[in-house]
Structure 1
Amino acid sequence: MLLLPRNIWRSLISTPQSCAATAFVAFFLLAIQYFRVKAAHDPSSLFFDYRTAYERPYSEIRTKQADAFIAQAGNGPQPKASTNPSLCICAGGVQRYGARYFRTMIGSLLEGLSEKERSDILLVPFIGNVDPNDHQAYKEAWLHNVADHILIYSNETVSAEDQERLRGMENPGGHFEKGLFDWIFMLKGCMNSTADYYVLVEDDALAMDGWYSRTKAALKTIEDSPLYGNSIYLRLFYNTGLQGWNSEYWPYYVFWSVAFELFVLGIIYLLRSSKIKKANEFLTDRAVLVILFICAPACILLYFAAGRITIYSPSSGVYPMNHHACCSQAFVFPAEQVPPLVDFYNEKRVGYRDSLLEEYSDARDMTRWAITPSVVQHVGSKSSKEDAESHEPTDKYGRTVAQNIWNFQFEQWDAKELRREHLHPISEGE
């Protein structure tokens, strides 16, 4: 503004009203610049910058750590579970084409764990191919060195008739049904254990350094909650893109927008009714119209433009998340909740496992929890079906549906800080 001609500058501050308008415009422009930085990684924001938002600073570091662990694990047997672990982790899926997520996922779950932490985990990797030799990892030493037990389809676990049916599902078009069958099989794989909790992780997930201590702390918080008895799961990953200004809540947004206008109008009325001379002189009819129909609406628009995640950014911790959470990358189930869930899945037989899980939970009014920030990231962009990506539609940024299943906060983890923190783990009571 200092660069403006003197006559224009004088006109901007010639009256109290013009001075206030100039200050408002300056403040508004500064707020826009602030949100351009603050909300750059908020997909619900007008200031979302996809060029930087999908960068993977932490995922790249964690992937290197996980792969290094797997490379070392191929040299010999690794620590295993104790006789009484509290967590049973069934993690895996089928062979992917053009990507090797499985080994990195297992490495991220194990890398950095202390001996005590590892002993509290019964690790049951799942090979989803009916012939396990079709999965590259099954033929490699590292998997057998790190696993407590490898879950596969065999004559001991699945009938010959079901095996033949599953082979048919591995053909193009059958993956939809087999996904649910695999999920049921994974849940049953942990039902044979004595663990208190079952953790199901898909092969295209990546766990942060320190996921174990944060998960245990979150479970302790849930156990202390009055909602615990009716809790169905703890979500270790959720898609940030679904946490924005969801359209079904438009009456709520309209209500509070109108309430804000009425609040401003009420303040104006009180000031104009008061005996404060300067307030009455300032609040001319024209000034009131500008405030109500330009300034207040501009503030409301900026509020929504900033994005819901930016405005309502939750602090770190564990919170109920009963709606707008996706997808099925990583769940923790209380052991006692799994048998009825498996019965429900068996009744349905066909469907998306995460959608069916929400249907099951809604029907029983069950509480669903999530850790914030997410301790697991979805890194998958390659399908389990060859050449499937070439037929998948892309969004305006040229990204597929799979690539947009993303948690933006996960990438803000600091690898050095997490490693220091892991040396002094979060206690279960915190």
Structure 2
Amino acid sequence: MLLPRSLLRPGRTFLKSPIHRLLLGFALLYGLAITWARARCWRDPTSAFFAEDKAYEPAYSLQCGAQAHAFLDHANQNTLPLHFHTKASAHPTICVGITSVARKNATYLQGGVGSVLEGLTATEREPWLHTLVDRVLLYDPDLIDLEHIRELETPEAKTFARKKGLIDYVYLLRACESLHTSYTVMLEDDVVALNGWYHRTKEDLLVAEQKTIEKGWDKWLYLRLFYTEQFLGWNSEEWPTYLLSSLLVALGVVAPATAIRYSRPATAAYLPNKVIAILAFVLTPLIIILFFAAGRVTMLSMAAGVHEMPRFGCCSQGLVFPQTRIGDLISWYEFKRLGYIDLLTEEYADANNEVRWALTPSVLQHVGSKSSKVNLPGEHRTRRTVSETIWNFMFEQNDVGELRREHEQQFEADV
């Protein structure tokens, strides 16, 4: 029995169809794109390929912590270099305040202080350090009702974090304000800082000032040193922008194909109407879907430097305030009397249309699995606590050697 030649060579017959060739080629490329996305986007919390179990594993922050504790061991043994005994200058430019809250079964203050100080050069320490810190701020009984403070520290005080935390923050802000520094860096104790955080912050404060002037603004509220990328994804309120962009992409594919099809009749065999329809209604939508699935942080990543971040900038782990704005903030906090620092600060900024800057990449990491806040939703054994999800994923990709070289080069340039 004789069989049709098409049955003897099914592959060749299949590939003769332009539609089949298009679909096969697209399937191969799409598979490669998905493989790339799985390998590239697993740290992106806004991505469908986000690998939670791997992404939250500490890497660089563990090295920061180890260096900080080694530094503290030297401090305890009085084996620190002599330049740590330099007193603060008469006219410091930056005040660094670190707030601390007692947590059950967790202590972060030593590690936080150690990581902030460990990587600084002798020159960087001199403006504001004495041994480890210039001053441990204690409550002044003439200014603070100590009995009220003790009441707020009891387990029964359910507004503990929202009220006492606010009192402490204002108290520390006032202490920094009294030094008349140009800027105040407010840190929470449950952070670690990368090697070079100080010179990066100092440089980018100048950038923030310059950008403010260039945009015609007369003031700005803060520079954010930490944020978590999980709130920087595709926002539902921006759907009109996404839809319009998707339609423009589809038009950018279909319009040239259609123009070629009708301007050059010889291409009709390769670009029949069915192929154009598949491009418009199947392949292009699949590409758009993969783009969004890859995650906004990956596909529309922010370049290194200073950026506006008027929304989704969580949390209050590290904020730098200009001296000129501290009085306004203190008045606002005292007016509110109750609340979390990050939420109150954003409320003030929104109400007054304030400019908020953020530093990318983050120079701090949040390491506090035990939160200072109480009654947080979602804290149960089968899921990460809310505090544990406050994480900067890019921070963990830092390289110890590269940061050390960057810091040394910066120091040599300043000398």
Return the TM-score normalized by structure 1. 0.87
* Deviation of the 1:295 alpha carbon: 0.2
3-state SS in 2 of match to 1:407: coil
* Deviation of the 1:248 alpha carbon: 1.6
3-state SS in 2 of match to 1:90: strand
One-letter code aligned to 1:330: G
In 1, are the aligned partners of 2:103 and 2:370 still within 8 Å (CA)?
yes
Match of 2:184 in 1: 198
Q: How many residues align?
A: 397
**1:188 matches 2:174:** yes
Match of 2:154 in 1: 171
Match of 1:253 in 2: 242
**1:414 matches 2:399:** yes
3-state SS in 1 of match to 2:16: coil
Q: 1:394 to 1:305 in 2, by over 3 A?
A: farther
RMSD of the alignment, in Å?
2.3
Map 1:53-72 → 2, pairs under 5 A: 53-72=55-74
One-letter code aligned to 1:416: G
C-alpha distance in 2, partners of 1:82/1:211?
20
C-alpha distance in 1, partners of 2:14/2:43?
36
C-alpha distance in 1, partners of 2:44/2:293?
10
**1:268 matches 2:254:** no
* Deviation of the 1:93 alpha carbon: 1.1
C-alpha distance in 2, partners of 1:356/1:122?
30
* Deviation of the 1:31 alpha carbon: 0.4
In 2, are the aligned partners of 1:87 and 1:122 still within 8 Å (CA)?
no
C-alpha distance in 1, partners of 2:14/2:184?
66
Q: 1:220 to 1:69 in 2, by over 3 A?
A: same
**1:423 matches 2:408:** yes
One-letter code aligned to 1:399: R
Match of 1:333 in 2: 321
Which consecutive residues of structure 1, in runs of 5 or more, have no partner in the other structure? 124-144
Map 1:28-427 → 2, pairs under 5 A: 28-76=30-78, 78-79=84-85, 80-121=87-128, 145-158=131-144, 162-172=145-155, 173-175=158-160, 176-225=162-211, 226=213, 227=215, 229-278=218-267, 280-384=268-372, 393-394=378-379, 398-425=383-410
3-state SS in 2 of match to 1:366: coil
C-alpha distance in 2, partners of 1:325/1:396?
27
Q: 1:51 to 1:165 in 2, by over 3 A?
A: same
Q: 1:428 to 1:217 in 2, by over 3 A?
A: farther
Which consecutive residues of structure 2, in runs of 5 or more, have no partner in the other structure? 1-6
3-state SS in 1 of match to 2:410: coil
C-alpha distance in 2, partners of 1:174/1:165?
13
Return the TM-score normalized by structure 2. 0.90
In 1, are the aligned partners of 2:222 and 2:321 still within 8 Å (CA)?
yes
One-letter code aligned to 2:150: R
In 1, are the aligned partners of 2:48 and 2:294 still within 8 Å (CA)?
yes
* Deviation of the 1:74 alpha carbon: 1.7
For residues 214-240 of structure 1, what are the alpha-carbon distances to aligned partners after superposition, in whole Å with 9 as ceiling and x for unaligned?
A: 101101111222256321101000011
In 2, are the aligned partners of 1:213 and 1:428 still within 8 Å (CA)?
no
One-letter code aligned to 1:72: H
For residues 106-158 of structure 1, what are the alpha-carbon distances to aligned partners after superposition, in whole Å with 9 as ceiling and x for unaligned?
A: 001100211110112358xxxxxxxxxxxxxxxxxxxxx41211111131442
3-state SS in 1 of match to 2:104: coil
In 2, are the aligned partners of 1:11 and 1:18 still within 8 Å (CA)?
no
One-letter code aligned to 2:395: F
In 1, are the aligned partners of 2:221 and 2:349 still within 8 Å (CA)?
yes
In 2, are the aligned partners of 1:214 and 1:426 still within 8 Å (CA)?
no
One-letter code aligned to 2:225: L
In 2, are the aligned partners of 1:40 and 1:47 still within 8 Å (CA)?
yes
C-alpha distance in 1, partners of 2:234/2:252?
23
Q: 1:59 to 1:398 in 2, by over 3 A?
A: same
* Deviation of the 1:104 alpha carbon: 0.4
C-alpha distance in 2, partners of 1:253/1:319?
22
In 2, are the aligned partners of 1:85 and 1:122 still within 8 Å (CA)?
no
Match of 2:4 in 1: none
Q: 1:288 to 1:237 in 2, by over 3 A?
A: same
C-alpha distance in 1, partners of 2:227/2:277?
44
3-state SS in 2 of match to 1:424: helix
In 2, are the aligned partners of 1:376 and 1:410 still within 8 Å (CA)?
yes
In 1, are the aligned partners of 2:19 and 2:274 still within 8 Å (CA)?
no
C-alpha distance in 1, partners of 2:358/2:147?
38
C-alpha distance in 1, partners of 2:21/2:381?
42
Identity %: 39
